[in-house]
Structure 1
Amino acid sequence: MPLLENHLEQIQSSSTAIAELPFPAPRRFTNALLRSHDITTLIRDTESHERALFDLSPLVSDGLAPRRRTIYSSRSPNERLFNGIDQHRQPRYGSAVATLLAGELGDQIRKEGGKGARERGEPDVEVLLQGAEKLCGVYPIPGASEKITSLRTRHDQLTSSVARFEARVSKQTGQLAQINKGKDTHGDYDDDEHSDGSDDHARLRSTLEQPQITAEDFLREEEEIRELEKKKRALESRVSEMERDLGGLLR
């Protein structure tokens, strides 16, 4: 117990000393603090999309240096003005989306979008899907991940189908070229013989397509006719019996 009392006394004295410490009064929030620290470090629990709003893309940070050089260089005023206007014409590079897509992915997307309609051809779907995934990781959209997955699967299926059909077309093109080459090497006699052979083949095919009637077919038809006549007589007898019954009821 004496040992515990000593610890309690030390805790009490430490608490009293901490409570009596002089703290400065609350001061006004000044811009001097912002100049040395990022604003996102002063706010707790910031989201990634919030931090992106206060970050500059590498393109803007790299573009500031040439602009400053033109302001303080010895070039003509017209050239400085032109460079300054040129810098103001590209505000989209400083957006949050440009910050998130900065780097190699952003360069690929800008290269695809900067080409003309004739030079562009087919867009790089995989690059666009990667950019969409990166944006959805920061700005979540309900159902966007599933949609991106389905689009990637569909693109893979179409790519494989296109490759398969292209291989088939190339194969058939080669076969057609061989056939045409064989036709060119033959003379008129071979052409006449080929035409006669095709005519004979057509006549033979028409002959084979005609139905061939045998004795078994006749016997089978006669048997079916006899069965139908038997069913007809049975139905006629039932109808006559029903007529007799109806006549008795009417009486």
Structure 2
Amino acid sequence: MTQTTLHELAAWLDDTLQTGRFRDYCPNGLQVEGRESVGHIIAGVTASQALIEAAIREKADAILVHHGWFWKNEDPRVRGPKRARLARMLEHGLSLLAYHLPLDAHPVLGNNAQLARVLGWEPALDAAGAARRCGPDDLVWLGRPRTVAPLAELARDVGHRLGREPLVIGEAERPIARVAWCTGAAQGMMDAAVDAGVDAYLTGEVSEQTVHLARETGVAFIGAGHHATERYGVQALGAAVAARFDIRCEFVDIDNPV
């Protein structure tokens, strides 16, 4: 394996994911600058202490994640768990590269595209051949499941493929032919899915009001897990990095029931 420079890697990631298109809740890109040369990356969903320790054990140079640090409206003081994480990163010269909405949205490597691949769902295409989307920043994808099936059967297949039993709101026997999905905490985007005329909407999390919206509109809701729906984009991105730069990139799945 070869090595690349940290800033060449960050520039390629920023360009590939078009980070400038998004008004996000956090900075995207290089969040913590470590050693200049990168030959080994540990990828994961979230830059947790457990992922940092895994990177240290594997003698990695950088960490690549979907959920990084420095979120809008969080306490900016560096203390407690934040201090502990940052201290370990700096002590071992680790860099942190994090991509939130840009990784959700990418048409090939993104969380939504990769979730469709895992579930076997087929995105609807517009006249130009691009996936049809709706909602803020066009983050909600539209399409259809592998086969038209009752909601209960569709939900069982989702649970089997993601390894986590989903929360389901809706009539178990209702046939589902049109679906919308957005990974993570996108329950607030269900209005866009309803307006698009789908039979079911899938995301990671649920809020109290989501249940009422599903019941009152007749659009089924599937809460398949935040972590469970967002494991795949960073794996695809890591594989693309490894191929582009001929460096090692290993995915570490830190168990999370949410």
TM-score using structure 1 length: 0.20
Higher share of residues assigned strand? 2
Bigger share in helix:
1
Length-normalised TM-score, structure 2: 0.20
